[in-house]
Amino acid sequence: MSVEWRSAMRAAISEVLETMFFSLAEFDDCSEPASAYDYGASISLFKEERRMEIQFKLKAAFARMITANLLGIDEEAVTTEDLEDTLKELANMVGGNYQARLADTSWRLGIPSLVQADEPCGGGASELVFSCFGEPAGALEFRSDASGENAPL
């Protein structure tokens, strides 16, 4: 995975989590098995015949916390529908933030969707694991079929 991709995606995740979800992301070198996550959401970026897929996988406690933060409610009041909407919004915001960092402005953002937390992103996926306040929070998987490039920046 390119250093540029990691740097741009870390910046996108950090900016969105801090600005919109009032949370911090700490990036780790360790990784957890995909089955360790409870929720997932995905969004794609498209350009001509090329596609990038960004897939989030989150721990339940982190998903509940960012949902409560976004909605301004207590964590106990968070519903399943609230969680699902927040996951899709997180994918949309980070995908859009990453898209804005691309040098090629012809990439278009797709529509976010929910995925199973253990659903693989696809062959050749690169992973970026993050935590919050020292506790595992989630991972982002990135796959690009953009002419063999890991990520076009």
Residues 49-68: tens digit of each pLDDT: 889 899 999 999 999 999 99
The token duo for 16 is 């969105």
The C-alpha atoms of residue 53 and residue 67 are separated, in whole angstroms, by: 23
Domain boundaries, the chain: 3-144
* CATH no. of 3-144: 3.40.1550.10
Residue 110 carries which side chain, given as an amino acid letter?
Answer: G
Number of Cβ atoms within 10 Å of the Cβ of 90: 26
Query: Model confidence over 107-122: pLDDT tens digits?
Result: 999 999 999 887 655 5
Query: Range with the lowest mean pLDDT among 12-21, 27-36, 92-101, 123-132?
Result: 27-36
